[in-house]
Structure 1
């Protein structure tokens, strides 16, 4: 799924690896919570036309590989996923309210992924004048 995508203004291929954790790194993502969380993430990504390339959870973190329109932005997508999943999971699974003031930490890790290494892209940019 390394296709080039576009909207009205931008042609892009933006793949992001995102990782986030429950508050206090509590091990609460398992069983039915895990299943429902993945459902919610898939719903949000489908609504935002952000194809999921991979998704996996561990009891204390979520890893997501997703393609996001740069005009929408990875921050807005993560914020929407975390917000909706926190609200719905805490409604559906009351034990998530008693142990933590919020479901997720405020922070997350994000990195872009791509076919070319940083060194190759840097060399390409630096050599543009010589072409």
Structure 2
């Protein structure tokens, strides 16, 4: 059912399934951009002590299963991932910068994952590469 975690004030088990897309759903998450994006996501999650359960990218969207401290919040984590990755990817890959005005759309999908559905969600994210 997932690992129970704690901070100074809260004992929690908050796992989220997050999906977001590049602006205009452009297929820019390929090759070196894909590799660098995953590295940035892992760095942010490590800094925020938000363990990644599963991470998969498609050319036009990202799936992330992540456990987040409820006092930090999923919105703050996603905002930090999208902000840092947009800035760094657009600096490091001029071809991305020339194709879209900003890397990400303002929106994203998020759902809580828990109990028996965690394994189902994990299998779903893992299977996305084969679609």
* TM-score (normalised: structure 1): 0.87
- Determine the structure 1 residue equivalent to 2:49: 49
Write out aligned runs for 1:19-38 (5 A).
Answer: 19-38=19-38
- Determine the structure 1 residue equivalent to 2:102: 102
What is the number of equivalent residue pairs in this alignment?
117
Secondary structure at the aligned position of 2:28 is classed as coil
Residue 55 and residue 116 in structure 1: after superposition, are their counterparts in 2 closer, same or farther (change >3 A)? closer
Structure 1, gaps ≥5 residues long: 118-131
Could you tell me how far apart the structure 2 residues matched to 1:52 and 1:28 are? 22
Runs (4+) of structure 1 exceeding 3 A deviation are none
* TM-score (normalised: structure 2): 0.87
- Determine the structure 1 residue equivalent to 2:66: 66
Structure 2, gaps ≥5 residues long: 118-131
Q: Work out which of the two has the higher radius of gyration on C-alpha atoms and give 1 or 2.
A: 1
Could you tell me how far apart the structure 2 residues matched to 1:50 and 1:4 are? 12
